[in-house]
Chains A and B, each alone.
Chain A
Amino acid sequence: MGTNVKNVFNNKTIKPSCHGHRRFSNHGDHFGGTKRVAALWSLFVLFSRFLLNWSPFLFQDSASCPKKLTLYSYWRSSCSHRVRIALNLKGLDYEYKAVDLSKGEQFDPEFEKLNPVRFVPVFVDGDVVVADSFAIILYLEDEHPQFPLLPRDLKKKALNLQVANIISSSIQPLQMLSVLNFIEEKISSDEKVAWAQHHINNGFTAIEKLLEGSAGKYATGDKAQLADVFLAPQIYIGVTRFQIDMAQYPTLARIYEAYAELPAFQAAHPNRQPDAFPSSSQSC
């Protein structure tokens, strides 16, 4: 046991306890309580400052979060048009960076680093760079799965993929400006139009048959899906540039009218893009 100690605050003698530390327990308790209060107060101040600085970001909805998505696009590119629709359907804000194909901006070395094929669209999501509309949209399906564009049902999913591929492989590449210019140069202007119409009509005839029995309000049901994302821009080009008679394709004509009612499709329209202008720029 230790020696008695005089409490200098009240002049009372404190007998040491067996545990030694207890003589300080009152002070410790008192001081510990003060410490706790001070610590709690500091925490409160820190938390308040955190809330003040970060609440604009924490409590915003996804639509107004700071943009980290960038789309390199040309207003009249039907491939870019597809991606714009997909981004809108998924409610994704993005920065639009125009690449003027009519001025050859796709040949800019900086753009070539992003996409060695030198086509639009190109999509940047943080450190991920994806080019090609098909690859971009399937990336969006994985990374931003809200508003899925592919059904779970394998038959319907395959149908959507097939429609998308008919357009991206059997129609659009064959009506690209470079192809049409070549045919016009080597054969004639009439032949160029006939060539484009042939491929569009072939594709639309096939798609019209494929959608028999599957189409609802939209191509494969009552919800806009991948097939619609690819169809809308292709029908637009077919009608406005190549005078395709949509009366031959009643299902496609009907669903095309339905697209005109959807804000996501309206906002993606070429004429509503930041780089849209009324002069006769070529589409691709």
Chain B
Amino acid sequence: MASDSEAMSRPANLTLYSYCWSSCAHRVRIALNLKGLEYEYKAVNLSKGDQFDPEFEKINPLKFVPALVDGDVVVADSLAIILYLEDKYPQHPLLPQDLKKKAVNLQVASIVSSSIQPLQSFFARQFFEKRISLDEKLTWSQNHVNKGFAAIEKLIKEIAGKYATGDEVQLADVFLAPQIFAGVARFQIDMSLYPTLARLNEAYAELPAFQAALPHRQPDAPSTS
């Protein structure tokens, strides 16, 4: 706890363009917190179309969050950002030295970022709701989340420790936490089907770096009052 607070109070020189509900931005928030990096939070409200602002488009021509500015370096895309952070700020490394474990971490990150999230993204959901139906939108999202979770459950079952690939929080956890959050909160995924993932999700809830990154704790989270 003490070392986390100490680590999290270093002077900021980073800017993160984020949306509270974006699971991709959520990943980067966790990584920044784990590494004890302070940053300025710049909100991009996707539901209001802020991503189409020409100033934001200069930051990320793909018009997605997250995007990170570090001096004259601008990086967008969560995996690219996190691997950049690994190089530039190697404290609390998120990738193990062991190549087998490193590969599993990258594979889990890739399953989440390529096989699950893009298919239940804000854009995809809007499209399916508008062109097909609300029910179809939910079924579609659930299918892809369940498929990905089933695969990850098999992949990490034998190697999981306190966290996904051992007893240290690594890249796989950074990607899993936001996806499980979205799966449960948005798509009513039954986590009892994935006992390892369910257990990890409870472990993440105990970690300050993960708690501080939750959507409802961001500056642009809707007020509940």
Q: Chain A: residues with CB nearer than 8 A to chain B?
A: 116-119, 128, 130-132, 134-136, 138-139, 142-143, 154-155, 157-158, 161-162, 164-166, 168-170, 172-174, 179, 182, 186-187, 191, 195, 202-203, 205-206, 209-210
Contact = CB atoms under 8 A, between A and B. Distances in A.
Nearest to A162: B80
Contact of B62 (A118, A130, A161, A206): A206
How would you classify the secondary structure of chain B's contact residues: helix, strand, loop or mixed? helix
Interface residues of B, number: 45
Contacts of A131: 107
Nearest to A167: B114
Nearest to B112: A169
B106 to A, nearest CB: 4
Contacts of B118: 169-170, 173-174
A128 B103 contact: yes
A131 B110 CA distance: 10
B160 interface: no
B102 interface: yes
Given A128-B99, A132-B111, A203 B75 contact: no
A209 B63 CA distance: 12
Contacts of A118: 151
A20 to B, nearest CB: 61
Nearest to B78: A165
A165 B79 contact: yes
A203 B123 CA distance: 14
A139 B103 contact: yes
A134 B83 contact: no
A167 to B, nearest CB: 10
Contacts of B154: 116
Contact of B103 (A130, A157, A186, A195): A130
B87 A157 contact: yes
Contacts of B151: 116-118
B114 A172 contact: yes
